[in-house]
Amino acid sequence: MSAIPATRAHGPTVPRWHELRTVGMVWERELIRFERNRTRIVTSLSQPLLFLFVLGYGMSTLVGSTGGFDFKKFLFPGIVSMSVVSTAIFSAISIVWDREFGFLREMLVAPVSRASLVTGKTLGGATVAAVQGTIMLVLAPLIGVHLTVALVFEVIGLELVMAVALTAFGVFVASRISRIEGFQVVMQLVLFPMLFLSGALFPLSGLPTWLSVLTRLNPLTYAVAPLRQVVFAVQHVPPVAAARFSATVTLFGYTLPVWLELVMVAAFAGVFFTLAIQGFSRRD
């Protein structure tokens, strides 16, 4: 009998380095797309800028100064989160675009695992989102937010965790939608409630019971809170302002530490990363 090459149940065995190369290529493709689309960079910044300066200054006149602490300083970490989240989720629209033009089918028939494609896409979208959020840091001095080198690195790390989770969620949704219009509608219906219920734009303390429950059910709440906590840690926040503009999240009377919030975000990312792989594993 002639020798038969060893195969897996679903195709030839692919070397591990080939899978890593696939991840790198998909990741690099996302960065190239981002760098070449200058319009996308500008438009992705326009909405956070609108919220920061228009909403920030408008609300500051109503909220006023609390112990010398300006409301815009509270709003700033939430606006950075908004920039990261919107960019991360909508980065997955390229999957729907590739499906419409047939490029996704070519990727799916390649002798690589679906996990490699999802990993590359998730890491690429998360990198772009983190870069977009980091750009927002140049606005910090304009509203009196003090930055340190350590703070910048902490913010970038938290942005990456947040971006991976939301990109994985976006990839999961995109794996089940075949039209760009449908993806945009679904994301708009999901994005704004997640942002408004995350505490990005208002403190989570003193809310009505029904609204407090909704904010605790929102996974984005546990990504925004750590970012605000590390920013507040290097600012001068008077005790009266710290009580009014609380940066922590309480659950059943227990104040969650940063590490536990990050574990919850990582769990959210893991669930939707797995679901995204399953979505790509279906016959297209």
* pLDDT given at position 276: 87
* pLDDT given at position 36: 73
Residues of the chain with pLDDT under 50: 1-12
**Residue pLDDT, tens place only, 203-247:** 888 888 899 999 999 999 999 999 999 999 888 888 888 778 888
Q: What would the 3-class secondary structure string for the chain be? A: CCCCCCEECCEECCCHHHHHHHHHHHHHHHHHHHHHCHHHHHHHHHHHHHHHHHHHHHHHHHHCCECCECHHHHHHHHHHHHHHHHHHHHCCHHHHHHHHCCHHHHHHCCCCCHHHHHHHHHHHHHHHHHHHHHHHHHHHHHHCCCCCHHHHHHHHHHHHHHHHHHHHHHHHHHCCCCCHHHHHHHHHHHHHHHHHCCCCCCCCCCCCHHHHHHHHHCCCHHHHHHHHHHHHCCCCCCHHHHHHCCCCCEECCEECCHHHHHHHHHHHHHHHHHHHHHHHHCCC
* pLDDT given at position 64: 62
* pLDDT given at position 47: 76
* pLDDT given at position 3: 42
44 phi, psi to nearest 5 deg? -70, -25
Q: Judge whether 159 and 184 are in contact, CB under 8 Å.
A: no
Amino acid at 77: P
Tokens representing 94 are 């390229």
* Cut 0.95: pTM above it: no
* pLDDT given at position 14: 54
**Residue pLDDT, tens place only, 67-104:** 677 888 888 999 999 889 888 888 877 777 776 665 56
220 phi, psi to nearest 5 deg? -70, -25
Amino acid at 235: Q
* pLDDT given at position 264: 94
Q: Judge whether 143 and 70 are in contact, CB under 8 Å.
A: yes
* pLDDT given at position 219: 92
* pLDDT given at position 106: 59
